[in-house]
Amino acid sequence: MGISFLIFGLGVLTGKPFFEMFLTSVAVVVAAVPEGLLPALTVVLATGMQKLAKHKGLIRKMTAAETLGCVSVICADKTGTLTRGELKIKL
């Protein structure tokens, strides 16, 4: 993003048309994102879901695998399910 802003600013300061520099800076940002990013992310999340399934974990959405991968302790009820997105501890 920083390089895109730099290209845009330098282009406008040197007298290039505003719209042309805008299109150029957008093209630089789009080109910076690799085409294989989304498939790679899908493969990583699917692998995480498989690892959770081995430990008898069941998740509905693939993005939850990323969140659960960072957790070290899970508190659940007596059936082993998490029913809400909140965790409250009462003493």
Active site residue: 77, 79, 87, 88, which one?
77
The values of phi and psi at residue 18, to 5°, are -60, -50
Q: What is the pLDDT of residues 27-79, one digit of tens each?
A: 888 887 777 677 877 888 788 778 777 877 766 776 666 676 677 776 666 66
Q: What is the pLDDT of residue 53?
A: 77
Comparing CA positions, the residue from 32, 34, 63 lying closest to residue 49 is 63
3-state secondary structure of 8: helix
Q: Which residue has the higher pLDDT, 9 or 81?
A: 9
Please indicate whether residue 89 is annotated as part of the active site: no
Dihedral angle sign, alpha carbons of residues 29, 31, 32, 38: positive
